[in-house]
Amino acid sequence: MNKAVTVVGGGAIGLSTAWELSQRGFIVTVIDKGVTGRGTSWAGAGILPPANLKNSYDPIDRLRGLSHTLFPRWAEKLKADTGIDPELKRCGGLYLAESAGEIAAMSGMTEYWHEMSIECNQLTADEILDREPALARWWHETSNASVWHVPDEYQLRSPRYLQALAAACRQSGVSFFENTDVTDIRCLNGNAEIQYEGHWRTTDNIVLTSGVWTGQIAASLELELSIVPIRGQMLLLKTASPLVKNVINMGQRYILAREDGHTLIGSNEEESGFELGTTDSVLKSLLEFALHLLPELKSAEQVKAWSGLRPMTFDGFPMIGRVPGVANLHIAAGHHRSGLHLSPGTAVLIADMLSEKIPDIPVDAFQIRKQQPNNAARSCTNT
Ligand SMILES: Cc1cc2nc3c(=O)[nH]c(=O)nc-3n(C[C@H](O)[C@H](O)[C@H](O)COP(=O)(O)OP(=O)(O)OC[C@H]3O[C@@H](n4cnc5c(N)ncnc54)[C@H](O)[C@@H]3O)c2cc1C
C-alpha cells in the first residue's frame, strides 16, 4: 500500500518535494494557506551560482552541487511533461568589483571556487567589452575595477518554474488544498497531527515546507526563533531586447535580463519582521546601482517592484530532516538566499528519507534543532 504524505507549503521547496515524492509512488497532498507558488519563491530572482558536487566538502556546497547537477534534467523534464518552460539558461555570471574591499572579497571567493574546481577567470578589458558591450561606459569611467567571468552560472524564471512544478505535480496525481491555513501541530504517542479547517488530522508522513512561516506553525516544536525573515526588494524594468546576457553581480546586488527584455534589479537585506512591502529609498538605490552599471537602462520602462521574505537560519544551514522524537514529521525550510537553487536537492533528500534510502550526501548539518539559538528547541511532547 502506497504511503500518504501531506506537504504543508507550496513554494519551490514544497512543490519540488511533492513532485519528487509523487514520482516515487507516494500519495501526496499539498496544503497552502494561499495560492501555491506565490510566497517567497515567486519573489526570487532565480540565480543559480556555480557549484561542483564532486569537489565540494562543506555541507551546503554539497547540497548546492547536488541541486546544480540535477537542475538541467529537472527543468527539461518539467518542460517536456507540462509544456511550461522554466527558462533555465546557463548564461554565465560576471562578478564586478570596484572598491578595495570588493576586490579583496572577490579574490577570496575566486580562490574558494578554484579549490572546488569551479571555473572562474579574471577578464581583460577586451574580454569584458566582448562579453558585455553594455558595460563599456561603466568600465571606462571606473578606475581600478576588476571583472571575473564564471561560465557555470544559471538563471531560471522563478514564476514559470513554480507554475511548471505545480502543473507537473497535478499530472502525477498530487492533490492541492489552497487557501487552507495549517494553524497548529500536536503530537500524540510520538506522531504529529496538523490542524486545519478546525479539525485535527494525521497521515503517514507530514512535511513542513512553509518557508519563513515554518517556526510559527507549531508552538509545541519551539522552533519559532529558528528562522528569521530577511526582506529583499526587487525592481523590474523592461527594454525592447535584453541589454546583458550574463548575470551581472556586484556585492549582494545583481542585474539579470530575460530573453524578452524584462530586467531584474536586486536586492537588499533588511529585518522587517514578517512585513512585506517596498520602500522608495531601497528602490531608488537599486535603480541608481543599475544605471551606474548600465546607463542605457535610463530609458527602460519601470514595470513593477516587489519584496519577499528570505527564510534565514542562524547557522546558515537549512533545516532538512525528521523532527527528533516525532515519527511522521519532517521539515525542509530555512533556505535563505538559495531556496530556488537548492529545491531539487532538498526534494531528493526528503524523498530519500521518507523512502528509507540513505541520502547521497551527508545531512547531519541540516538536522532540526541545531538552528534554534541556544538549541532551545525540543520535540513536541505527547499531549
Ligand atoms: C528578493 C529575493 C531574491 C531571491 N533570489 C534568489 C535567487 O536568485 N536564487 C535562489 O535560489 N533563491 C533566491 N531567493 C531565496 C528563495 O526565494 C527562498 O529561499 C525560497 O523561495 C524559499 O522557498 P520555500 O518554498 O521554503 O518558501 P516559500 O516560497 O515562501 O513557500 C512557503 C509556502 O508555505 C505556505 N505557508 C506558510 N505557512 C503556512 C501555513 N500555516 N499553512 C499552509 N501553508 C503555509 C506559504 O503560503 C508559501 O506558499 C530570493 C529571495 C528573495 C526574497
Please report, for the domain that includes residue 37, its CATH number. 3.50.50.60
- In ligand 1, the atom with minimum distance to the C-alpha of 214 is 38
Is residue 243 in a domain?
yes
CA of 331 to the centre of ligand 1 (A): 14
**Are residues 307 and 236 both part of a single domain?**
yes
- Given CA atoms 105, 107, 111, 113 in this order, what sign does their dihedral have? positive
Quote the cell numbers at residue 210. Answer: 512553509
| Digit-coded pLDDT (tens) for 24-82 | 999 999 999 999 999 999 999 999 999 999 999 999 999 999 999 999 999 999 999 99
49 Cβ closer than 6 Å to some ligand 1 atom? no
308 Cβ closer than 6 Å to some ligand 1 atom? yes
**Residues pairing with 262 in the sheet:** 238
Q: At what angle do helices 12-23 and 343-354 cross, to 10 degrees?
A: 50
CATH number at residue 146: 3.30.9.10
**Are residues 56 and 16 both part of a single domain?**
yes
Q: pLDDT band at residue 165, thresholds of 50, 70 and 90?
A: very high
Cβ contact 82:171 at 8 Å: yes
34 Cβ closer than 6 Å to some ligand 1 atom? yes
**Are residues 23 and 111 both part of a single domain?**
no
Count Cα neighbours of 54 within 13 Å in the Cβ-side half-sphere. 4
Nearest-angstrom CA–CA distance, 146 and 335? 30
CA of 12 to the centre of ligand 1 (A): 7
| Digit-coded pLDDT (tens) for 166-220 | 999 999 999 999 999 999 999 999 999 999 999 999 999 999 999 999 999 977 7
Is residue 383 in a domain?
no
Count the domains in the chain.
Answer: 2
310 Cβ closer than 6 Å to some ligand 1 atom? yes
Mention every residue, 6+ apart, whose C-beta is less than 8 A from residue 100. Answer: none
- Residue after which a domain boundary falls, among 313, 337, 360: 313
Using alpha carbons only, give the angle 162, 167, 171 rounded to the nearest 5 degrees. Answer: 145
- Which residue has the CA at smallest separation from atom 15 of ligand 1? 337
CA of 333 to the centre of ligand 1 (A): 9
**Are residues 37 and 68 both part of a single domain?**
yes
- Distances, alpha carbon 158 to alpha carbons 149, 152, 351, in Å: 23, 18, 23
- Residue after which a domain boundary falls, among 298, 313, 328: 313
Nearest-angstrom CA–CA distance, 349 and 355? 10
Choosing from 31, 41, 212, 307 the residue with most ligand 1 atoms within 8 A of its CB, the one to mutate for a pocket test is 41
Question: Range of 37's domain?
Answer: 4-85+158-226+314-375
**Residues pairing with 257 in the sheet:** 263
What does the DSSP 8-state code read for residue 11? S
**Residues pairing with 7 in the sheet:** 30, 207
| Digit-coded pLDDT (tens) for 353-366 | 999 999 999 999 99
Nearest-angstrom CA–CA distance, 85 and 168? 12
Is residue 381 in a domain?
no
Choosing from 8, 19, 40, 335 the residue with most ligand 1 atoms within 8 A of its CB, the one to mutate for a pocket test is 40
339 Cβ closer than 6 Å to some ligand 1 atom? yes
Nearest-angstrom CA–CA distance, 31 and 7? 6
Nearest-angstrom CA–CA distance, 138 and 98? 10
CA of 92 to the centre of ligand 1 (A): 24
Closest C-alpha to 368, from 358, 379, 357: 379
H/E run at residue 354: helix 343-354
Cβ contact 7:17 at 8 Å: yes
| Digit-coded pLDDT (tens) for 335-346 | 999 999 999 999
Mean pLDDT, the chain, rounded, equals 95
H/E run at residue 195: strand 191-196
CA of 296 to the centre of ligand 1 (A): 32
- In ligand 1, the atom with minimum distance to the C-alpha of 38 is 49
